[in-house]
């Protein structure tokens, strides 16, 4: 099948299983665009709230790996969803701009189009399906594999490397045609200016602070085997929690514990588990891996930790906000969007250096902070209602 045919073909489905051959046309109203839908992820949290705020808007995506996540909402996939390429994002990267930019079946004369983008989803906004619409992009980051390949292994794939110069030219040109752009942090706003040569407003992503603070002591919500895990932990420990992947830098959490002479607790699963286990075995302090845990146990761990250490360079970083809202003094990298939440909420320390001395200073300073209740400030600054209000005002032309 030719690329032009790929781009013109899509599938549509809702909870009512609409026919892919006869998708309902979108006339007027709005359209939401999302790169691809996964079962978990920060980008999906944003999409969850956009779907709730704009329930009549269909969602366009390259593929949907969480069918049924949005009951009652039309989710329309590209033809890439019906090929093996959906499992190989690096190989699809050179195709994405064309797939997004071609006509999509059943989309006619929308009033506005809002894309959440960390790759090429915003290209839909400048294609024929969005013609005449007000075009908006909520940007988690310009595609890292394209603009910062040193931070994304997909950018080092030979296919992406060959296509990168042309893709950057197309990406910059189409980004400049958007009517308005929002970044999820000041850090990403600066990256947008550097990559695309245009400004953006900042709308921080939604953090469900209300759900975090509905329970005074999350240990009361932990039972069974997880309760046994919680009860077996030391009274004071340094906490790290994320997927066990290289860029999350959980090795630095182990080093932070060694620097202050405290045990380390690591939450999560992933491909770096073996390497981290080797580092833990050689560490001068005990390191406890607790694997994937429930929300209740993670929140209880945050409430009990002497400090939560979050070393990666993230575009924003939802977990540090959650930790501070739960009362955990938090250490974050000076580079990236997480420092913005520490600066706004105050219950944390920005580590200007991630060597052993810098980690020791940061963890000791965080542990010395009074455990002030910053949940009300976190709700006003990063909460769900704030996000939905700001996005609604933006879509309405504010």
CA-wise closest residue to 42 among 184, 249, 218: 184
Residue 11 pLDDT class (50, 70, 90 cuts): low
Instruction: Give dist(CA 91, CA 104) in Å, integer.
Output: 22
Q: pLDDT over 90 for what percent of the chain?
A: 79
Whether the per-residue pLDDT at 8 is higher than 50: the answer is no
Q: Who's near 322: CB < 8 A, 6+ residues apart?
A: 207, 209, 212, 299, 302
Span 347-369, pLDDT tens digits = 999 999 999 999 999 999 999 99
Residue 23 pLDDT class (50, 70, 90 cuts): low
In this prediction the pTM is 0.89
Instruction: Give dist(CA 337, CA 251) in Å, integer.
Output: 20
Strand locations in 144-229, DSSP E? 180-183, 201-202
Mean pLDDT of the chain: 91
CA 381 to chain CA centroid, Å, is 18
Burial class (CB in 10 A: 0-12, 13-18, 19+), 112: buried
**What pLDDT is recorded for position 138?**
98
Residue 3 pLDDT class (50, 70, 90 cuts): very low
The DSSP bridge partners found for residue 32 are 59, 114
Whether the per-residue pLDDT at 4 is higher than 50: the answer is no
Instruction: Give dist(CA 82, CA 357) in Å, integer.
Output: 52
Sign of CA dihedral 114, 118, 122, 124: negative
Residue 251, token pair as written in the block: 């090795």
CA-wise closest residue to 110 among 388, 395, 394: 395
Strand locations in 150-253, DSSP E? 180-183, 201-202, 238-241
- Specify the range with the lowest mean pLDDT, choosing from 8-12, 257-261, 272-276, 381-385: 8-12
Residue 94 pLDDT class (50, 70, 90 cuts): confident
Q: Who's near 165: CB < 8 A, 6+ residues apart?
A: none
Instruction: Give dist(CA 272, CA 245) in Å, integer.
Output: 5
Span 111-161, pLDDT tens digits = 999 999 999 999 999 999 999 999 999 999 999 988 888 777 676 777 777
pLDDT mean over 72-85: 90
CA 52 to chain CA centroid, Å, is 18
């Amino acid at each position: 099948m030719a690329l032009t045919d790929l781009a013109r073909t899509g599938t549509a489905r809702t909870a009512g299983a609409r026919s892919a051959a006869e998708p309902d046309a979108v006339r007027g109203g709005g359209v939401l665009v999302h790169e691809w839908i996964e079962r978990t992820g920060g980008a999906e949290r944003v999409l969850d709230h956009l779907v709730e705020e704009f329930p009549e808007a269909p969602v366009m995506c390259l593929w949907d790996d969480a069918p049924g996540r949005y009951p009652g909402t039309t989710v329309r996939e590209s033809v890439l969803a019906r090929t093996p390429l959906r499992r190989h994002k690096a190989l699809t990267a050179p195709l994405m701009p064309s797939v997004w930019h071609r006509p999509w079946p059943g989309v006619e004369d929308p009033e506005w189009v809002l894309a959440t983008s960390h790759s090429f989803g915003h290209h839909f906004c400048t294609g024929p399906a969005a013609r005449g619409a007000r075009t908006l992009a909520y940007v988690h980051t310009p595609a890292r594999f394209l603009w910062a390949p040193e931070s994304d292994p997909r950018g080092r794939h030979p296919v992406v490397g060959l296509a990168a110069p042309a893709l950057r030219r197309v990406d910059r040109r189409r980004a400049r045609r958007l009517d308005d752009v929002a970044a999820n942090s000041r850090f990403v706003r600066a990256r947008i200016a550097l990559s695309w040569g245009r400004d953006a407003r900042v709308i921080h992503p939604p953090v469900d602070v209300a759900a975090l603070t509905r329970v005074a002591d999350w240990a009361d919500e932990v039972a069974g085997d997880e309760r046994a895990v919680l009860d077996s932990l030391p009274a004071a420990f340094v906490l790290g929690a994320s997927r066990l992947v290289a860029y999350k830098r959980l090795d630095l959490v182990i080093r932070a514990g060694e620097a202050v002479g405290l045990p380390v607790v690591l939450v999560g699963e992933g491909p770096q588990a073996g390497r981290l286990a080797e580092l833990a075995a050689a560490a001068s302090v005990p390191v406890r891996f607790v694997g994937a845990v429930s929300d209740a146990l993670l929140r209880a761990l945050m409430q009990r930790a002497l400090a939560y250490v979050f070393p990666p360079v993230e575009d924003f970083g939802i977990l540090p906000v959650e930790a501070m809202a739960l009362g955990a003094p938090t250490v974050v990298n000076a580079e990236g969007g997480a420092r913005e939440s520490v600066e706004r909420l105050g219950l944390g320390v920005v580590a200007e250096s991630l060597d052993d001395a810098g980690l020791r200073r940061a963890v000791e300073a965080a542990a010395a902070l009074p455990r002030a209740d910053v949940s009300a400030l976190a709700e006003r600054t990063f909460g769900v209602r704030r996000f939905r209000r700001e996005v609604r005002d933006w879509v309405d032309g504010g």
